[in-house]
């Protein structure tokens, strides 16, 4: 065969492979949409948002409620720390009408794998639990409840080997909790926990950031602020009923009057901080919940925190993050900083619409300079419980990812909030030695 004929065949086969992959992707989305239509009915066309609320509550991102351009097709590249695609397990924790503290919703968890001292692992989870207070105003007061799974490894093996989903993790609520106690938590409470392991005075600590939401009934307006807490990691991991609460609130990341915001914006509004500690001990926080991501630094957990860049990266008009960027969590990998984040965009011919999850990578040399960034998400809305909820079209990741040993392999478990109503789980094969711990 001559060289030009060989080249023609190679090009032809490459085109066939590309078309086949695109066809599989379209078939996957078509099947997902068909299943959603069968189970929950046809979707209404989303102009500014397919929200469940008739009027946007003050604690919902404004970017979700703006008209946005359609999403175009972009090539998918799996993050290099994933050994395979995520498989969706389904809903693992639901609201409990018999418990006032979580009667309305439970979602957006933080999770942590813990060695049990017997060669196995447990999973510690902090969940945002919402009651029915403030109907029509702040739409429920939230607190952070702590749950534990002692059977998480068996559940993963049972799912991967037999597809068993029932009672996945068998999560049990503990009596450890974080309740609204501060003025900046009044009415709205504590939302969307994120945490990271850091060194403080030579010991491992869990640094917790969460959104404190204050709702002023006199003005009928609310303010979200990033709040901080700290716990000795061993004390938190081994906590049992009767022991003292190991978690200490540290106050606000940005005290009122210290943020620079446009004149039209709430000057004290801040949300969603993903924190990573540098080898020097300094702390970085990627934060925000709109069309640009901010970067702040601090010498210690309690601060002072200073914003050093107001636009590390911004939303992209035709991508999965066209309307909104909101950090999940971050970790170090050599000289690189991986930041997993949530994006929001309207539906289009190549994307089902709603919240989805991708990543951006920066470096220790320049944490404000993006080295690479997902063109397409590695998790996105497909299931009925993600399509319909308190807020429609939401799969949301806070610090809900943990590495678990299962049957000789290592897997990554991702626990997400779905529809701002329930907690769901996904599992993917992990690459050894890389990725979140």
Q: What is the pLDDT of residues 48-85, one digit of tens each?
A: 333 333 344 555 555 554 445 556 788 888 899 999 99
pLDDT digits (tens, 9 = 90+) for 374-401: 999 999 999 999 999 999 999 999 999 9
On whether both 37 and 76 belong to a single domain, the answer is: no
Same domain, 6 and 82: no
Total residues found in the chain within this entry: 437
**Residue 187 · residue 157 · CB < 8 Å:** no
Whether 223 maps to a domain, the answer reads: yes
- Interval 86-145: pLDDT, tens: 999 999 999 999 999 999 999 999 999 999 999 999 999 999 999 999 988 999 999 999
Q: Rounded mean pLDDT of 310-321?
A: 92
The answer to whether residue 153 scores a pLDDT higher than 90 is yes
Residue 163 and residue 187 in one domain: yes
Q: Is 392 exposed, middle or buried (0-12, 13-18, 19+ CB in 10 A)?
A: buried
- Are residue 87 and residue 16 in the same domain, yes or no? no
Both 271 and 259 in one domain: the answer is yes
Query: Do residues 102 and 125 lie in contact, with contact meaning Cβ atoms separated by under 8 Å?
Result: no
pLDDT value, residue 65: 46
Do both 15 and 130 map to the same domain?
Answer: no
Tens digits of residue pLDDT in 220-269? 999 999 999 999 999 999 999 999 999 999 999 999 999 988 777 899 99
Residue 302 lies in a domain: yes
Calculate the CA dihedral of residues 169, 400, 186, 225 and round it to 10 degrees.
180
Residues 249 and 368 in one domain: yes
Q: Verify that 70 and 131 share a domain, yes or no.
A: yes
Are 53 and 27 contained in the same domain?
A: no
In angstroms, rounded to a whole number, what is the distance separating the alpha carbons of residues 379 and 88? 9
pLDDT at residue 37 in the model: 33
Please state the domain count of the chain. 2
Q: Return d(Cα 414, Cα 328) in angstroms, integer.
A: 11
Q: How many helices (H) and strands (E) does the chain have?
A: 4, 22
Instruction: Decide if 188 contacts 141 (C-beta within 8 A).
Output: yes
- For residue 437, being part of any structural domain is answered with no
Same structural domain, 280 and 343? yes
Residue range of the domain that includes 31: 1-42
Percent of the chain past pLDDT 90, that is, above it, reads 75
pLDDT at 35 over 50: no
In this structure, is residue 79 part of a structural domain?
A: yes
Stated pTM of the model: 0.85
Q: Are residues 14 and 99 in the same domain?
A: no
Arithmetic mean of pLDDT over the chain:
86
Q: Tell me: do 221 and 297 sit in the same domain.
A: yes
435 assigned to some structural domain: no
Collapse the DSSP code of 412 into the 3-class scheme (helix H, G, I; strand E, B; otherwise coil) and give the result. Answer: strand
Would residue 434 count as lying in a domain? Answer: no
- State the DSSP code for 348: B
Specify the CATH number for the domain of residue 335.
Answer: 2.115.10.20
């Amino acid at each position: 065969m001559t060289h030009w004929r060989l080249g023609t065949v190679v090009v032809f086969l490459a085109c066939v492979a590309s078309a086949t992959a695109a066809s599989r992707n379209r078939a996957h989305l078509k099947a997902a949409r068909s299943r959603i239509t069968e189970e929950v009915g046809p979707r209404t066309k989303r102009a500014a948002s397919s929200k469940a609320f008739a009027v946007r509550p003050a604690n919902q991102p404004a970017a979700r409620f703006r008209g946005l351009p359609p999403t175009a097709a972009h090539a998918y590249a799996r993050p290099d720390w994933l050994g395979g695609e995520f498989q969706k397990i389904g809903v693992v924790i639901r609201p409990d009408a018999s418990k006032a503290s979580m009667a309305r919703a439970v979602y957006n968890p933080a999770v942590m794998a813990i060695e049990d001292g017997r060669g196995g692992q447990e999973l510690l989870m902090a969940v945002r639990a919402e009651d029915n207070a403030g109907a029509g105003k702040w739409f429920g007061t939230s607190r952070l409840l702590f749950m534990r799974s002692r059977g998480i490894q068996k559940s993963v093996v049972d799912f991967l080997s037999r597809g068993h989903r029932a009672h996945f993790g068998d999560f049990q609520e503990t009596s450890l909790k974080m309740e609204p106690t501060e003025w900046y938590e009044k009415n709205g409470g504590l939302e969307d926990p994120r945490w990271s392991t850091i060194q403080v005075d030579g010991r491992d600590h869990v640094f917790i950031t969460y959104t404190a939401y204050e709702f002023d009934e006199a003005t009928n307006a609310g303010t979200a602020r990033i709040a901080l807490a700290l716990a000795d990691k061993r004390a938190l991991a081994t906590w049992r009923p009767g022991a003292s609460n190991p978690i200490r609130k540290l106050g606000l990341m940005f005290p009122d009057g210290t943020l620079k915001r446009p004149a039209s914006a709430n000057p004290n509004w801040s949300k969603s901080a993903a924190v990573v500690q540098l080898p020097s001990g300094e702390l970085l926080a990627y934060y925000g919940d709109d069309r640009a991501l901010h970067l702040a630094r601090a010498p210690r957990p309690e601060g002072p925190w200073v914003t050093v860049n107001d636009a590390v990266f911004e939303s992209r008009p035709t991508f999965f993050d066209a309307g909104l960027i909101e950090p999940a969590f971050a970790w170090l990998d050599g000289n690189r900083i991986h930041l997993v984040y949530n994006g929001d965009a309207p539906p289009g011919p190549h994307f089902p619409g709603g919240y989805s999850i991708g990543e951006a990578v920066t470096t220790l040399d320049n944490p404000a300079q993006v080295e690479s960034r997902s063109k397409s998400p590695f998790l996105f809305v497909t299931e009925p419980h993600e399509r319909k909820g308190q807020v429609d079209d939401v799969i949301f990741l806070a610090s809900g990812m943990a590495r678990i040993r299962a049957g000789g392999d290592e897997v990554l478990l991702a626990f997400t909030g779905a529809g701002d109503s329930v907690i769901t789980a996904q599992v993917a094969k992990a690459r050894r030695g890389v990725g979140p711990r």
